[in-house]
Structure 1
Amino acid sequence: MKKGRKRKKKIYLLAFLALIVLLGLCLFNLKKNVRPVVFTYCDALISALGMESINSSAADVVALYEYSDFVDLKRGEDGRILYLGTNTATVNGFVRSLALRCENALNALGKQEIVIPAGAFTGSPLIAGSGPNVKVDVTFFSTVHCDFITSFENVGINQTRHAIYAKIEVLFNTVLPIAEHEISLENHILIAENVIIGEIPNVYVASEDGTDYLDLIP
Structure 2
Amino acid sequence: MFKKPLSKRMRGFVPLIIITIVIFILIQFFLFIENSLRPTFLAIAEARAKIIAFDAINEAINERVAQNIMYEDLIIVDKDSQGSITMAQTNTMEVNRVQAETVKRVQNTLRDIEGEKINIPLGQVLGSQILATYGPKIPVTLVPIGTVHVDVSHSFKEAGINQTRHKIYLDVFADVQIIIPFVSTSREVKTAVPVADTIYMGDVPDTVVNLPLPTRDGAQGSENIQSNNQSNTNTQNDFFGNQESQNNSFIEGNESNQENIRSIPYFNR
When normalised by structure 1's length, the TM-score is 0.72
Cα deviation, residue 120, structure 1: 4.7
* Bigger radius of gyration: 2
1:34-45 paired onto structure 2 within 5 Å: 34-45=37-48
Aligned to 1:168: 172
Structure 1 residue corresponding to 2:137, chosen from 119, 134, 139: 134
Query: Identity of paired residues, percent?
Result: 23
Which one-letter code corresponds to 2:75 in the other structure? V
Q: Mean alpha-carbon deviation: is it higher for 134-143 or for 98-107?
A: 134-143
Q: Are 1:30 and 2:13 an aligned pair? A: no
- CA–CA distance in structure 1, aligned partners of residues 131 and 173 of structure 2: 32
Q: Are 1:82 and 2:89 an aligned pair? A: no
- CA–CA distance in structure 2, aligned partners of residues 57 and 169 of structure 1: 13
- CA–CA distance in structure 1, aligned partners of residues 84 and 134 of structure 2: 70
Q: Are 1:151 and 2:151 an aligned pair? A: no
Aligned to 1:68: 72
- CA–CA distance in structure 2, aligned partners of residues 124 and 50 of structure 1: 25
Q: Deviations over 1:107-134 (max 9, x none)?
A: 111212222323455x464665264322
For residues 36 and 138 of structure 1, do their structure 2 counterparts lie closer, same or farther at Cα, with a shift above 3 Å needed? same
- CA–CA distance in structure 2, aligned partners of residues 25 and 82 of structure 1: 72
For residues 155 and 179 of structure 1, do their structure 2 counterparts lie closer, same or farther at Cα, with a shift above 3 Å needed? same
- CA–CA distance in structure 1, aligned partners of residues 136 and 202 of structure 2: 62
Contact 1:35 1:178 in 2 (8 A): no
Contact 1:37 1:120 in 2 (8 A): no
Cα deviation, residue 87, structure 1: 0.2
Aligned to 2:119: 115
- CA–CA distance in structure 2, aligned partners of residues 163 and 139 of structure 1: 33
Structure 1 residue corresponding to 2:182, chosen from 163, 166, 178: 178
Number of residue equivalences: 181
Aligned to 1:53: 56
User: Which structure: greater helix fraction?
Assistant: 1
Structure of greater relative contact order (alpha carbons < 8 Å, 6+ residues apart): 1
Aligned to 2:208: none
Contact 1:115 1:135 in 2 (8 A): yes
For residues 42 and 81 of structure 1, do their structure 2 counterparts lie closer, same or farther at Cα, with a shift above 3 Å needed? same
Cα deviation, residue 47, structure 1: 1.3
User: Which structure: greater strand fraction?
Assistant: 1
Q: Secondary structure at the match of 1:63?
A: helix
In structure 1, list runs of 5 or more residues that go unmatched. 1-15, 200-218
Aligned to 2:192: 188
- CA–CA distance in structure 2, aligned partners of residues 129 and 80 of structure 1: 61
Q: Mean alpha-carbon deviation: is it higher for 128-137 or for 96-105?
A: 128-137
Q: Deviations over 1:170-210 (max 9, x none)?
A: 211233342221122211111111111236xxxxxxxxxxx
Contact 2:155 2:167 in 1 (8 A): yes
- CA–CA distance in structure 2, aligned partners of residues 177 and 108 of structure 1: 23
Which one-letter code corresponds to 1:87 in the other structure? N
Q: Are 1:94 and 2:94 an aligned pair? A: no
Give the alignment's Cα RMSD to 1 decimal.
Answer: 2.7
When normalised by structure 2's length, the TM-score is 0.59
- CA–CA distance in structure 1, aligned partners of residues 84 and 123 of structure 2: 68
